Structure 1
């Protein structure tokens, strides 16, 4: 599979960005993965996205002198080397990964195409409550952009917390408190493992063309 690797900085961290050409993917490309057999029943799109994500992760790990490819955990989460925390995201024909050398760091990254306005209005109730929707409406940002940011920020938070809470979190588990030109603040709406209700988390965001990238 043909890929291109670049990097950019978000919130002081290096994000490793891989773009790929889906039409160049073949099943033999998966043999690069130690866990390739676990993907034997996946669809072609899923295989290509997974491979791109692991390539991005391998670049990120290599940059901190770790030679490893994250495996797949029981809930589909990446399994990072001991002493490392990280996160992977993919959207369309691209994938991103970020890692830090700390066993229990909270790291979550997500990338989303900005929702069309009509779609944002249709699905908003599944992402935010009425109070959040009112806040986003008056945030100074187009509603579709603000809602996409809320969706992505919550995804980044859930990815970051999963290694410690080990449970699925719905969009109602966190509430948008603030949104400014660089960050969003989220508050937990209920306790999650050792994290108390109303614990605040800062998520950094970046607008990149017709997509947003969020990082906790």
Structure 2
């Protein structure tokens, strides 16, 4: 499969970006993965997306290690490393941290059309959250996409601890500004109290929104400013 690799920085973390051409994918490409047999029954799109994500993860790990697949489909990272992968369209991204017990989650979403955003909003935010979005000063579709993506990033980060998938009602948006947003848990999870805030950083790149949660147990949710470079 034809791919290109680049990097950018968000909240002080290097994000590894792999752009790929799904039309060039063949099943033989999967032989690069140690766990290729686990994908035998997957569809072509799933295989190409998975491969691109693991290529990005391998770049992030820098030692040619490829994360395996856990029992719930989650990436299995090497001991002492936390990481996250996202993919969509023709791009995949990965980020890792070597900080002990840190949590990290990344997600990328196409910005929703306004009509679609208003049709699906009730599955993503409640009435109080919708008020936060309306007061953010951002177009509703962008704000909703950011919240959708941020909750995905948070849940990816928490999954290694909770070992279960979380609904969108497990966290509530409380604040959005020009570079970050805050989610608060609506119930206790994985040793975190109800109401625990998590700061996520975001950026928009064309028609997509990217969110990142870097959580350090020593310092709490990180609050650094995002910078981007290619």
TM-score by length of 1: 0.97
Say whether residues 1:166 and 2:163 are aligned partners.
yes
1:74 partner SS:
coil
The correspondence of residues 28-177 of structure 1 with structure 2, limited to 5 A, is 28-62=28-62, 66-177=63-174
For the residues of structure 2 that align with 1:68 and 1:199, how far apart are their CA atoms? 34
Q: Aligned Cα RMSD in Å?
A: 0.7
Matched residue SS, 1:181: coil
Q: How much does 1:18 deviate?
A: 0.2
Q: Which residue of 1 aligns with 2:228?
A: none
Alignment partner, residue 222 of structure 2: none
Whether the 8 Å CA contact 2:158–2:190 is kept in 1: the answer is: no
1:183 match = 180
CA contact (8 A) 1:110 1:215 kept: yes
Deviation at 1:103, TM superposition (A): 4.0
- Deviation, 1:91, is 1.0
Stretches (4+) displaced over 2 A: none
Q: 1:203 aligns with which of 188, 200, 204?
A: 200
Q: Distance in 2 between matches of 1:24 and 1:167?
A: 35
Q: Secondary structure at the match of 1:141?
A: coil
Post-superposition Cα deviations, 1:37-84, rounded to whole Å, max 9, x if no partner, equal: 00000000000000000000000000xxx3310000011110000111
Residue matched to 2:210 = 213
Q: How does 1:17-36 map to 2 (within 5 A)?
A: 17-36=17-36
Query: What is the CA–CA distance in structure 2 between the aligned matches of 1:199 and 1:156, rounded to whole Å?
Result: 16
Give 1:102 deviation, angstroms. Answer: 2.7
SS of 2:104's equivalent?
A: coil
Local SS of the residue matching 1:67 = coil
Give the CA deviation at 1:153.
0.3
Quick one: higher RCO (CA 8 Å, sep 6+), 1 or 2?
2
Contact kept in structure 2, 1:87 and 1:159, CA below 8 Å: yes
**Conserved 8 A contact 1:82-1:103:** no
Could you tell me how far apart the structure 2 residues matched to 1:100 and 1:46 are?
26
Q: Give unpaired runs (5+ residues) of structure 2.
A: 214-230
In structure 1, the gaps of 5 or more residues are none
